[in-house]
Amino acid sequence: MPSPAQDPARPTGWLRRWWPAPLAVDGAERWRMVIGVGLGLLVTALVSRAGHGGLGLSANWPWLAAPLGASAVLVFGLPASPLAQPWAVVGGNTVAALVGVACTSLPLDAALAGPLAAALAMAAMLALRCLHPPGGAVALLAVLIGASHWHFALLPVALNSALLVAVGVAYNRATGRRYPHLLQAGSAPAAAAAPQRFTEADIDLVLKRYNQLSHLPRDDLRQLMEQAELQAHERTLTTLRCADVMSANPVVVAATTPLQDAWALLRQHRIKALPVIDSTRRVVGIVTQADFMRLADLEHHPGADAPLVAGRAGAAAPVAPWQNVGQIMTRKVRVASAARSLGELVPIFSDTGHHHIPVIDEGGALVGIVTQTDLVRSLMRVPGV
């Protein structure tokens, strides 16, 4: 789906501010909505007309309310919207019809009674928690056609609305859409068990500050925010390369570097690992604080005359018979190329226990090192994280 900036139909100049972004739905979903609207209104019309004839009502009495076309768009096009839920459709339209009938009986010109009916209908729908935009049209329609009998609220409005909702429930479920869109109590514990960066209270507070009606229910809004956050993490990890986040020009040692000197470098730079390189800067090993700690856990080395001095809390590095880095370093080192995707390193850090990964250039020479801290810092680049 092209972005607004890539939309070939997007106008230029000041009109760009008024041009809507492309709809984020594919062709199959568009056809699902179109067919649903047609099918829902067809069933509603046929049954309502049959009921109209069965009741022996006057031929002038309406059997299908025009605002139901707008209701159908909501029910089949936006089934997750609070404005499209069954109580909103049936309750909102019916209440609006009653308000319209009441305003029709007032000694007012239609030019005044119509707007009054729509405004009062909205107030009633807000109070009863059944706000439904087509309800405003229902109230206005009642005034314009002079519907002065409360039967108008039952037939066609209430019957039309109930039939449309019934078809909407069957059709949306058959095509994989949740309708009615009710909060699933069973999903709350699972959601609460997973680590979340925001809670229901956070979402409520943001919506309160937004101070506008939202077309998305709160549970869908939460899922949308979580998926957007995950997508941002995924995009960050797949677009960033090791060269983008690595610590360049790391402190290094040679295999012949004395242990005391290597230990001093670790303490001086407050780092936990030193890549070991040869004369061509190729990585031949790595020595870490853990290597020194492992030696410190021994009291004597077999065949050694002098005890080891623990490499802890200000102590010197272990002494004889280990004299240089090459004797204690880890020789099998996992390395990554500078062009490698950062996301490919996540399993290495999380599953294999690695904490430092040397980074090499195309020629195999050391150019940097990526640590778990570098990985976390890269995630902090995601807005809002």
89 secondary structure, DSSP code: I
Contact by Cβ (8 Å): 4, 10? yes
Cα end-to-end distance, the chain, whole Å:
26
Nearest to 152 by CA among 101, 217, 213: 101
CB atoms within 10 A of CB 37: 21
Residue-by-residue pLDDT tens, the chain, 385 positions: 455 555 666 666 677 777 777 777 889 999 999 999 999 999 999 999 988 777 766 777 889 999 999 999 999 999 988 899 999 999 999 999 999 999 999 999 999 999 999 999 999 999 999 999 999 999 999 999 999 899 999 999 999 999 999 999 999 999 999 899 875 544 444 444 445 566 667 766 766 665 655 566 666 666 667 776 667 666 666 777 888 888 888 999 999 999 989 999 999 999 889 999 999 999 999 998 888 887 766 544 444 334 444 444 445 544 456 789 988 888 888 898 988 887 777 777 776 667 889 999 988 999 999 888 777 777 665 544 4
Give dist(CA 321, CA 198) in Å, integer.
55
Q: What are 244's two structure tokens?
A: 């983008």
Sign of the alpha-carbon dihedral angle for 204, 210, 212, 215: negative
- Find residue 105's DSSP bridge partners: none
What residue ranges do the domains of the chain occupy?
A: 22-174, 187-239, 243-379
Give dist(CA 338, CA 181) in Å, integer.
48
Q: How long is the chain?
A: 385
Q: Where are the beta strands (DSSP E) in 14-94?
A: none
Which pTM does this prediction carry? 0.57
Give dist(CA 128, CA 122) in Å, integer.
10
Counting Cβ atoms within 10 Å, is residue 226 exposed (0-12), middle (13-18) or buried (19+)? middle
Q: From the options 3.10.580.10, 3.30.465.10, 3.20.20.70, 3.10.105.10, give the CATH code of 243-379.
A: 3.10.580.10
Give dist(CA 51, CA 330) in Å, integer.
85
Give dist(CA 96, CA 100) in Å, integer.
6
Q: Where are the beta strands (DSSP E) in the chain?
A: 247-248, 273-277, 283-288, 336-337, 356-360, 366-371
- Per DSSP, the residues of 313-369 read TTPPPP-TT--BGGGTSB-S---EETTSBGGGGHHHHHHS---EEEEE-TTSBEEEE
Give dist(CA 292, CA 74) in Å, integer.
67
For residue 151, give every residue at least 6 positions away whose Cβ sits within 8 Å of its Cβ, in sequence order, or none.
none
- Find residue 201's DSSP bridge partners: none
Strands 336-337 vs 356-360: parallel, antiparallel or unpaired: parallel
CB atoms within 10 A of CB 180: 17
Give dist(CA 328, CA 210) in Å, integer.
60
- CA angle (157 as vertex; 151, 163 as ends), nearest 5: 125
Contact by Cβ (8 Å): 357, 380? no
